[in-house]
Structure 1
Amino acid sequence: MELLEEILSRVPVKSIVTVRSTCKNWNVLTEDQRFANMHIEKAAAASQREKEVLVITGDPNDNSINVKFYDFHNKTFDPSTKRNGILITQENSYSEVVLHRSFYCNGLLLCLWRNVKLRLLVWNPYWGKTRWINCPTKHSYHCEVFAFGYDKSCRTHKILWLSRDDNMNIYIDIYDLSCGLWKTPPDVAFHSNVIEYTKASLTLKGNTYWHVESGDGFLHCFDFTRERFGPHLPLPSDINHRCSVSLSSVKEEKLAVLLEQTLGEFEIAVWVTNKIEPDYVSWSKFFKFENLQLKCCYLFGNFLIEEEKKTVEAFDDFNNWYNTYIIDGESGHSREVDSTKSSHPRLYNIVSNYVPSSVQI
């Protein structure tokens, strides 16, 4: 039994579902908390070497959440590959639903589904467990912003829900997964215009950071431990009103921004943080190039950084075509390494250095 545990604990995370479906004994073994902790410890160490990249998509034709792993070594991504996800059926959705957005935090996924009303689904891909969450119905919503993070003092996952009604009143609600309750925190301010101009977001070290386009643009952070917003954080000096901004992370330690200027001569710059906290940030330039020749001018919703090789992999998901580009930070050369037509409406999220969670939801 010890030898079997040691062998199965080395199985890649993407194959754990296959292991559990092999036989009843393996299923019981791999669902044991002690085995899960051992497996996750090995997966965390492997992710630093092999860069496990989780790709999350949704298909409204069959109401499914799909999770795949991008091949970082072969530089390939095929949206038509066999799905590895869950199906949302009529029995647990009540009517036709559409996957609106997905968020990743520390091994868990938060998925927003819309039918007659908004519903939330939390999913642990490692355990294959799901949990439906109903939203409060006390407001008439005009605009909404969501975030998914955790309290660093106790590692409890939380959901932040910002909403505004037709009378421009702002509502802030927080759901705590440990107790299953919504609450309204006192004295949490959020400017009403920010909801309209909030674009890309990223959860890093339990806190969520947004790119806000208001004024000259800035980052805004919600601290899930203290349950409050931090001050406006400056973006790198390259940004201007003509830039589009994408966010990514580097090994769950640094936040990265990709700045694109598509008017006139095309320019691209990538910066990473030296240090980032809810109330402080400092930046280092990864690379910057002008006149970068790429086929598509609608660039990149998602990107990944390889610090050691000083390269960026950027994913363009315009009009159901999925193009993958490699940009060399030393020479400025770029090349398209994959281009695929798919029935999937879009890439919803890409998570670099995915590590599973032992959290039981």
Structure 2
Amino acid sequence: MMLSDLPDELEAEILSRVPAKSLVKLKTTCKRWVYSISEDLHGINRSGVEPSIKFTGGKHISVKILISKIFHCEGLILCCNEWNTRLAVWNPCTSQKRTIKPRTRYQGQDMYALGYAVNNKSSSSCHSYKILRYCLNKNEQNNRVSTEFEIYELCSSSWRVFHYTNGDFGVHRGGISLKGDTYWVAGLSLMKFDCTTERFVRLPLPFQSSDLDDTVLSAIRDEKLSVRISHF
């Protein structure tokens, strides 16, 4: 009997017993396994676990952080708490985590994206991961609101200001990551951030839409971008 002849339930049961670090290497075996492994990390999505992380250290230290927003990209998870005052990157396969300190301070209306740059000149398969922060700053003197972008590079552990000068950003909800780039719904079009070139690209929707429609993005098996629209 070949492995491909196994029932889906038995194959899923076998994969669920493989250590997480080994699962990452198995993702290159076949596309079907990529979907099975990426769909659920050892049953985390089905376990009904409360979306929180509890840090303990010593007898009297116990801090519980409620996770409000989660962004994922190629195995890394970016988490921020309910008040957008804490930001952390977590690798569930290695259990490594890193707290990301702000350049100035985080704000409640901040939006984030997690992606990676592709270096075609490098022989290494490692990605250069980046965090894009989108924030609104209000001038208390004239009540004007300005848009600001910052990029955090995990390899250098540093923030830098990113200048966007192509008009209104037009994004009001979180995006999704696909092959290192991030996509958002931006009004009647899509906005893409190329993490390698660090450029925004506005893309047309594959159908006609109006301001009253609800447009949702999703990724199909980490390979294709899906756009769903609900007319009201």
Question: Which TM-score band applies after superposition, normalised by the shorter structure?
Answer: 0.7 to 0.9
What code does the residue aligned with 1:151 have? A
Deviation at residue 46 of structure 1 after TM alignment: 4.5
Which residue of structure 2 aligns with residue 89 of structure 1?
Answer: 55
Q: Deviations over 1:332-357 (max 9, x none)?
A: xxxxxxxxxxxxxxxxxxxxxxxxxx
Alignment of 1:147 onto 2:116? no
Structure 1 contact 111–121 (Cα < 8 Å) conserved: yes
The 1:84–1:225 alpha-carbon spacing in structure 2 relative to 1, beyond 3 Å, is: same
Structure 1 contact 103–147 (Cα < 8 Å) conserved: yes
Higher relative contact order (CA 8 A, sep 6+): 1
Question: Aligned match of 2:32 in 48, 53, 62?
Answer: 48
Which residue of structure 2 aligns with residue 234 of structure 1?
Answer: 204
Which residue of structure 1 aligns with residue 196 of structure 2?
Answer: 225
Which residue of structure 2 aligns with residue 278 of structure 1?
Answer: none
Q: List aligned pairs for 1:203-282, cutoff 5 A.
A: 203-213=177-187, 217-230=188-201, 232-261=202-231, 263=232
Deviation at residue 238 of structure 1 after TM alignment: 4.0
Q: List aligned pairs for 1:166-181, cutoff 5 A.
A: 166-167=138-139, 168-181=145-158
Unaligned runs of 5+ in 1: 1-10, 18-29, 31-35, 56-66, 71-76, 264-361
Q: Deviations over 1:233-284 (max 9, x none)?
A: 11022433332111111232221111112x3xxxxxxxxxxxxxxxxxxxxx
What code does the residue aligned with 1:121 have? A
The 1:128–1:90 alpha-carbon spacing in structure 2 relative to 1, beyond 3 Å, is: closer
Alignment of 1:101 onto 2:86? no
C-alpha distance in structure 2 between counterparts of 1:166 and 1:150, whole Å: 30
C-alpha distance in structure 2 between counterparts of 1:102 and 1:226, whole Å: 24
What code does the residue aligned with 1:152 have? V
Which residue of structure 2 aligns with residue 162 of structure 1?
Answer: 134
Deviation at residue 47 of structure 1 after TM alignment: 4.9
Q: List aligned pairs for 1:65-80, cutoff 5 A.
A: 69=43, 78=46, 80=48
Deviation at residue 78 of structure 1 after TM alignment: 4.3
The 1:199–1:102 alpha-carbon spacing in structure 2 relative to 1, beyond 3 Å, is: same
Q: Deviations over 1:60-108 (max 9, x none)?
A: xxxxxxx5548xxxxxx7453xx499833266x9965331200011111
CA RMSD, aligned part only?
Answer: 3.4
Which residue of structure 2 aligns with residue 201 of structure 1?
Answer: 175
Structure 1 contact 148–159 (Cα < 8 Å) conserved: yes
Deviation at residue 218 of structure 1 after TM alignment: 0.7
Q: Percent identity?
A: 24
Q: Deviations over 1:270-312 (max 9, x none)?
A: xxxxxxxxxxxxxxxxxxxxxxxxxxxxxxxxxxxxxxxxxxx
- How many residue pairs get aligned? The number is 206
The 1:14–1:247 alpha-carbon spacing in structure 2 relative to 1, beyond 3 Å, is: farther
The 1:234–1:157 alpha-carbon spacing in structure 2 relative to 1, beyond 3 Å, is: same
Structure 1 counterpart SS, 2:86:
strand
TM-score, normalising length: structure 2: 0.73
Unaligned runs of 5+ in 2: 1-13, 140-144
Structure 2 contact 116–181 (Cα < 8 Å) conserved: yes
Structure 1 counterpart SS, 2:152:
strand
Q: Deviations over 1:92-131 (max 9, x none)?
A: x99653312000111111111245x611111111112111
Structure 1 contact 223–229 (Cα < 8 Å) conserved: yes
TM-score, normalising length: structure 1: 0.49
What code does the residue aligned with 1:199 have? R
The 1:94–1:156 alpha-carbon spacing in structure 2 relative to 1, beyond 3 Å, is: farther
